[in-house]
Structure 1
Amino acid sequence: MEKLHKHFEENWKYYLGAILIFAFAIRLFIYLKYQGQAIWWDEADYLSIAKSWALGTPHAAPAYRAWGIAVIYSPLFWLGFGEATMKFLEVIFSTAGVYLTFLVGKEFFNKKVGLIAALGMSTYWVHLFWTPRISLGIVGLLFFCGAALSFYKGYVKKQGTKYLILAGALIGPGIIFYEAVGFILPFLFLFLLVTERLKFLTNKKFWIFILAILISALPFLIANQVMHDSFYPRIDNMLTRTESTVSGESGLDWSNPISTLFGATTIYFITMPSIIMWGFTILLLIGLIYFIDLILGFDLVLKNKSEKLKKDFYILLWPIVFLIIVGWLVSTGVGFYFEPRFAFPSIPILFAIAANGGLWFYNKFKDQLKWLAALAVVVLIIWSMVTAFNFGIDTLEAKKDSFYHERAAGEWLRDNTREDEVVLACSQNVPLIFYSEKFIDGFSNDNTTKFEAALEEHQPDYLVFDFYGPFCNSQYITDYQNHLTLLQAYFLDEGQTMPVILIYKYDN
């Protein structure tokens, strides 16, 4: 065992390098195969903002959209790079997430845990699925985990003010890049309340951390105020939006029964096997044994008398608080729904807990089970990794052609309509705006009276009917057939019996 330990200590960096090369190779393969797929609505918003800043093209992204990523993408558009370049950056961000997972495991446990956790992240299927798309969750993971690590080093371990400043500097702009980065604040404040009561309010380090957040966020907040007349439009949207609510009063729905709220709040815990796969879920459950000392000695945490238990509390509180908040949003937010990607910022620490569980099992039973103890852990890890990779590829295959024709339709509008001509789209108009590089008024309602009002208001030269979603009523085409001339049609099937996008010249 001493020889193995010495070998590991001398060569762990090579193992880490091999894992990162493996992770990058998988992501590069996925990028090369799937980067040509059409973008979805939210991707179109982020890219349209960036292209608009760089080239002056229009965009219709709502004020509450997180626009931080446009700060990175806009100069690339200005330099002449396109959508494929932005998606390649996701490969870099995604691979960086694997490295950050190693750092999480190494910091809170040890290097072996970090390596196993990074292995889990390397084939984590949700990460793989979003790698060839524009995903704020992938870059948001970097901000969140980087801030959580830095705060722990700077505040809990007292390793220097620089870590507190770094934590704040990641959270401030991080919220503009990906709103869920802000969920780190309830986690940190709850940790401080439990371990220090209100004493942290008199701690200079805490206020340095807060000041770093405010200073780093200030340029983005000022930009929001200038662009949207609100320092943080997302809050305004959640409190006042009316387009998705029955009452027309709020973007949050408080009418769900308690049972529904509880079920949704715990949904990410219940569905863990579908998120990190069964093998790692089993190791995660084993890994919870590590926290028995925390439970039995929680009074020491409350009295702030055990650095080890305080660390354990930090580890356990991280995923619990984050996943409860996200689950709560699923249960109360109109327009929110269960999405595995919402769990991104909690995944590195979950893999670390699972990896530690695997090592605990091996060390506990290696004398009785001999090599079978190691084999059991290895089988669970490989089983999860293979299952996750296959599921990720299957999901990519299933979704690769979704909204495919919106690219072609948008490019046709770009090449065949004049700048001064008006296009009205009964669809998710944002992807069409990105591809056509012209503003397209959107309309989605089954109400004929409102459709007629839209025609009267916009006086369009062209009408686009997009049947990818439940936005259009095909009866409109029949009712207005004397005013419509079909110019372009796109079909889901080779036999051209299932039209999905129709472009008409409208004669008003």
Structure 2
Amino acid sequence: MFCKPYYEMEGDNAGKEGIGSFLAKANNFIESKHRIILIAILLFAFIIRLKYMTVNAAVWWDEADYLSLAKHFGLGLPEQAAPWRARAVPMLWGAFYFLGANEWFIRFFSQFVAVGGVLLTYFIGKEFFSKKIGLLAALFMSVYFEHMFWSARVSLDVYSLLLFGLAAFFFYKGYVKGHGNKYIYATGAIYGAGIYAYDGIGFLAIFLLLFLLLTERLKFLKDKRLWIMVGVALLAALPFAVYHEVEFGHPYPRLKLFSSIEGGQITLAEGAQQSMPAKIVSLLPDTFSYFKGIGYYLSPQLPSGIFWGIAKWSLFLLFLLGLLAFVNMFICFDKVWKNENKELKSEFYLFLWGFSVLLIFGIVNAISAFYFEPRFVFPAMPVIFIVCALGIRQMYRLVSKYSKEVAVGLAVVLVVTGVVGQLSFANALINAKKDTYVQEKEGGEWLKQHTSPGDVLVGCGLTVQIIYYSERDFKRVGSNNATLADETIKKYKPKYYVLDGMDFEGCKSEQYPAINQDKMVPVQAFFMDAAKTQPIYIIFEIKQEAY
């Protein structure tokens, strides 16, 4: 039994023999109709995402940033996004805008990308284990609440899952399994362009390097196919690198951002007086934050009750059971280290894929003191849900020794409750956030209706949302530099000053309208409450003659 890959271990075919005609027929149905089942899962994933596609009243900061970039590329809208923002996907969206599309179309297009992540999860599970494992993993991915939430928003994170996943999958197919050099070179092409589509795709290089070092040491350096892959990646990145160098003076501004970080937990408080071991220890909790987050991904907050209690812990329990499938790989890790067992090497590739993504983002989180964001580790989720699917098989092997009927019933309960639990929390989360920042949309659209193309707006607020919805240039000015504000108004002659309280930190103390009441008057306001007693977005008409 030892040093066999998981799918060759004794008991793997327990589901095909001696379990009664019903189960045998069910198993044969899945094997023969797996394409139909897959299509059903994909249609379900697409339809449930269409349901939420337009539920959100307004876009958030990141969404507005990328959509404003798209309008910049497609419609010539002024650009306000930071240089380090990923621009490849907004360039694609810009083409859509140029051809006459709108935000609805971009949202609709992104649903196909999101469902593409579900389909990719199936192919990964099928390639590494079996069709049934792939189908189960795809089902879990289709209802994963975090993926559904960001599919309902204009998010690059769903693109990251597909691009990172494709590149890692193609490298496995081409290099590890030897199914053709085209897959290796495709990895390079996806990586080269992908790092400009989503920065986190850059961490794929760390994962692949770790895998190669641990299984081949430095032998891979002699493989010319890998050098060609690197060359393909550089060629794919070249147009984007040239654009960024010309526009921002750096071929990859994100690197410049990280190289200039002086904050973060390492230097906080009395960090300079800490010993290096003390600093490292202080970083450990955040380093493993995404591992601790697995409980959050798989065990969302649900209502009280027996059913919901089961639903809350179903996938997490399956995940823990699924990890047992890798015990044999670790026991026989010397075979992986010496590159003597291709099947165990494949299992290690999959395990390292998920492990490295969680660890790398945890390290970045610890060093930069950035907040915990489950969407950042979307590229690890296919692996996590494959492990959950393996948990079904592990559970069946354990329980069927005593009762096959109980084993089957338990499998059905865990899958159904796990799916329902994810759907329930996704619905609650999406609806809880759907009306946030609606004042930004209402205010921006009012400004668009009451100004002309080419007009300039001034004020204090969330710049990218104001620009995105108004489609007007926006100059941020205020009482912190009243002279500059006066000069800006004299120069651009804006019709309106915007005081956007949704920028809580930046505008909570803004006094420019208050100290210039003789020069501007409020003409429109949007409120936080239905009774309209808490104005949060106020538009002032500027008296040009006063300047």
Quick check: 70-79 or 257-266, which moved more?
257-266
1:13-39, CA deviations, whole angstroms, 9 ceiling, x for partnerless residues?
A: 11111111111111111125x1x5211
Residues 268 and 323, structure 1, Cα contact 8 Å, conserved in 2: yes
Residue 499 (1) aligns with residue 535 (2) = yes
Query: 303, 316, 320: which is aligned to 1:281?
Result: 316
Quick check: 38-47 or 480-489, which moved more?
480-489
Deviation at 1:341, TM superposition (A): 0.7
Matched letter for residue 452 of structure 1: A
Change in CA separation of 1:420 and 1:111 when aligned onto 2, cut-off 3 Å: closer
Matched letter for residue 66 of structure 1: A
Query: 229, 234, 241: which is aligned to 1:209?
Result: 229
Matched letter for residue 348 of structure 1: P
SS of the residue corresponding to residue 135 of structure 1 reads coil
Matched letter for residue 91 of structure 1: Q
Distance in 1, matches of 2:116 and 2:179, equals 24
Match of 2:275 in 1: none
Residue 22 (1) aligns with residue 44 (2) = yes
Match of 1:313 in 2: 348
Distance in 1, matches of 2:255 and 2:264, equals 11
Residues 113 and 159, structure 2, Cα contact 8 Å, conserved in 1: yes
Deviation at 1:502, TM superposition (A): 0.4
Distance in 1, matches of 2:227 and 2:454, equals 54
Match of 2:146 in 1: 126
Match of 2:238 in 1: 218
Change in CA separation of 1:456 and 1:23 when aligned onto 2, cut-off 3 Å: same
Change in CA separation of 1:227 and 1:318 when aligned onto 2, cut-off 3 Å: same
Distance in 2, matches of 1:390 and 1:454, equals 51
Counterparts of residues 335-350 of structure 1 (less than 5 Å): 336-350=370-384
Distance in 2, matches of 1:139 and 1:332, equals 25
Query: 430, 444, 461: which is aligned to 1:410?
Result: 444
Match of 2:395 in 1: 361
Residues 297 and 374, structure 2, Cα contact 8 Å, conserved in 1: yes
Query: Quick one: percent identity of the two aligned structures?
Result: 38
SS of the residue corresponding to residue 518 of structure 2 reads helix
SS of the residue corresponding to residue 177 of structure 1 reads coil
Residues 239 and 251, structure 1, Cα contact 8 Å, conserved in 2: no
Match of 1:423 in 2: 457
Deviation at 1:82, TM superposition (A): 0.6
Match of 1:325 in 2: 360
Distance in 1, matches of 2:509 and 2:541, equals 16
Residue 250 (1) aligns with residue 262 (2) = yes
Matched letter for residue 239 of structure 2: P
Distance in 2, matches of 1:223 and 1:331, equals 31
Residues 57 and 437, structure 1, Cα contact 8 Å, conserved in 2: yes
Residues 192 and 200, structure 1, Cα contact 8 Å, conserved in 2: yes
1:90-125, CA deviations, whole angstroms, 9 ceiling, x for partnerless residues?
A: 211111111111011111111111000011011100
Deviation at 1:420, TM superposition (A): 5.7
Deviation at 1:378, TM superposition (A): 2.2
Residue 455 (1) aligns with residue 467 (2) = no
Distance in 2, matches of 1:260 and 1:491, equals 43
Distance in 1, matches of 2:109 and 2:361, equals 26
Unaligned segments of structure 1, at least 5 residues: 241-248
Query: 62, 78, 87: which is aligned to 1:42?
Result: 62
Deviation at 1:415, TM superposition (A): 2.2
Deviation at 1:227, TM superposition (A): 2.3
Residues 358 and 377, structure 1, Cα contact 8 Å, conserved in 2: yes
Deviation at 1:436, TM superposition (A): 1.1
Matched letter for residue 494 of structure 1: A
Deviation at 1:88, TM superposition (A): 0.8
Distance in 2, matches of 1:475 and 1:251, equals 27
Query: 431, 443, 462: which is aligned to 1:397?
Result: 431
Change in CA separation of 1:394 and 1:443 when aligned onto 2, cut-off 3 Å: farther
Matched letter for residue 40 of structure 2: A
Deviation at 1:440, TM superposition (A): 0.4
Match of 1:490 in 2: 526
Deviation at 1:475, TM superposition (A): 5.5
Match of 2:421 in 1: 387
Residue 237 (1) aligns with residue 219 (2) = no
Match of 1:245 in 2: none
Residue 102 (1) aligns with residue 122 (2) = yes
- Provide TM-score, normalisation by structure 2: 0.86
Residues 73 and 91, structure 2, Cα contact 8 Å, conserved in 1: no
Distance in 2, matches of 1:318 and 1:38, equals 35
Deviation at 1:453, TM superposition (A): 4.6
Matched letter for residue 262 of structure 2: S
Match of 1:262 in 2: 284
Change in CA separation of 1:250 and 1:75 when aligned onto 2, cut-off 3 Å: same
Change in CA separation of 1:140 and 1:453 when aligned onto 2, cut-off 3 Å: farther
Distance in 1, matches of 2:537 and 2:481, equals 18
Deviation at 1:238, TM superposition (A): 2.1
Deviation at 1:170, TM superposition (A): 1.1
Distance in 1, matches of 2:228 and 2:454, equals 53
Match of 2:508 in 1: 473
Query: 81, 104, 107: which is aligned to 1:84?
Result: 104
Distance in 1, matches of 2:411 and 2:70, equals 46
* CA RMSD, Structure 1 to Structure 2 (Å): 1.9
Query: 61, 74, 95: which is aligned to 1:75?
Result: 95
Residues 88 and 132, structure 1, Cα contact 8 Å, conserved in 2: no
Residues 422 and 458, structure 1, Cα contact 8 Å, conserved in 2: no
Distance in 1, matches of 2:400 and 2:331, equals 26
Distance in 2, matches of 1:252 and 1:221, equals 28
Matched letter for residue 31 of structure 1: M
Match of 2:201 in 1: 181
Deviation at 1:9, TM superposition (A): 2.2
Matched residues, number: 493
Distance in 1, matches of 2:263 and 2:69, equals 24
Distance in 2, matches of 1:416 and 1:395, equals 35
Unaligned segments of structure 2, at least 5 residues: 1-15, 18-23, 269-278, 300-312
Residues 428 and 442, structure 1, Cα contact 8 Å, conserved in 2: no
SS of the residue corresponding to residue 502 of structure 1 reads strand
SS of the residue corresponding to residue 65 of structure 1 reads coil
Residues 90 and 132, structure 1, Cα contact 8 Å, conserved in 2: no
Distance in 2, matches of 1:190 and 1:140, equals 20
Deviation at 1:506, TM superposition (A): 3.5
Deviation at 1:430, TM superposition (A): 0.3
Distance in 2, matches of 1:343 and 1:281, equals 17
SS of the residue corresponding to residue 537 of structure 2 reads strand
Q: Report which of the two structures shows the higher radius of gyration computed on alpha carbons.
A: 2
Match of 2:191 in 1: 171
Deviation at 1:81, TM superposition (A): 1.2
Deviation at 1:253, TM superposition (A): 4.8
SS of the residue corresponding to residue 501 of structure 1 reads strand
Residues 454 and 473, structure 2, Cα contact 8 Å, conserved in 1: no
Distance in 1, matches of 2:524 and 2:447, equals 10
Matched letter for residue 37 of structure 2: Y
Deviation at 1:259, TM superposition (A): 4.4
Residue 435 (1) aligns with residue 469 (2) = yes
Residues 19 and 122, structure 1, Cα contact 8 Å, conserved in 2: yes
